[in-house]
Copies of this chain bind each other. A is one copy, B any other.
Amino acid sequence: MLENAYKWFHTSMNDHPGLTVWFTGLSSAGKTTLSHAVCEQLRSAGYKVELLDGDVVRQNLSKGLGYSKEDRDENIRRIGFVAELLSRNGVIALVAAISPYRAIRDELRTRIANFVEIYVNAPLAVCEQRDTKGLYRKAHAGEISNLTGVNDPYEPPLHPDLECRTDQEAIAECVTKIVKHIESRLAS
């Protein structure tokens, strides 16, 4: 009885695609804040959601990788691999990672069936002022190198599915916009 019910759910779910929602942008642009808030809202609405935060995932999947272009791309590819596994099984996989290079983001878009790119955009000066993790201070003091936006490139998306100007829009406004977009993509 239980088994049959289980199978039935599974069969039904198999037909429903999940989604990979990729938050890209500078450090302190608001990726973590937005993805957490979106995650919470979707979860309370009953969706299956996993949040893959760049910093956390690095510890689990990419120990030993650094911040060269090759290492960054490899890190993004690994997160993409996991996000694809989740989203093709009906999960909404939220990814918050700087992912500075356009080519690798476009590679993911091609590979992952249901891919949403969200450009979390705030001017560098605003990010430097926020400096949530103290990275900009360290970079300017010469304590760290390879900080995106300071001594490493960031290639903004040319055609993101959604853009949030976090220096101009309130967090709640951005979250509403993102959740609305996600729900419309799921229904389409």
State which residues 124-171 of A face B: CB under 8 Å: none
State which residues 80-119 of A face B: CB under 8 Å: 81-82, 85-86, 89-91
A46 to B16, CA, bound (A): 13
State which residues 20-73 of A face B: CB under 8 Å: 45-48, 50, 60-61, 63-64
Of chain B, the residue at the smallest CB distance from A71 is: B64
A46 to B46, CA, bound (A): 23
What are the interface flags for A1-31 relative to B under an 8 Å C-beta threshold, 1 for contact and 0 otherwise? 0110011111111101000000000000000
A183 to B60, CA, bound (A): 30
Main DSSP-derived SS at the A contact region: helix
Contact B3 A187 (CB under 8 A): yes
Contact A9 B16 (CB under 8 A): yes
Given contacts A48-B10, A82-B85, A86-B85, contact A186 B60 (CB under 8 A): no
Contact A10 B47 (CB under 8 A): yes
- Which chain B residues lie closer than 8 Å to A89 at the CB level? 48, 50, 86, 89-91
Task: Point out the residue from B7, B9, B64 that lies within 8 Å of A45, measured CB to CB.
Answer: B7
A10 to B12, CA, bound (A): 10
Of chain B, the residue at the smallest CB distance from A92 is: B10
- Which chain B residues lie closer than 8 Å to A47 at the CB level? 6-7, 10
A45 to B3, CA, bound (A): 11
User: Residue among A11, A48, A89, A90 with the most chain B CB within 10 A?
Assistant: A89
24 CB < 8 A contacts A-B: A3-B186, A6-B16, A6-B186, A7-B46, A7-B47, A8-B46, A9-B13, A9-B16, A10-B46, A10-B47, A10-B48, A13-B13, A14-B46, A50-B89, A60-B77, A60-B78, A61-B81, A63-B74, A64-B64, A82-B85, A86-B86, A89-B90, A89-B91, A90-B90
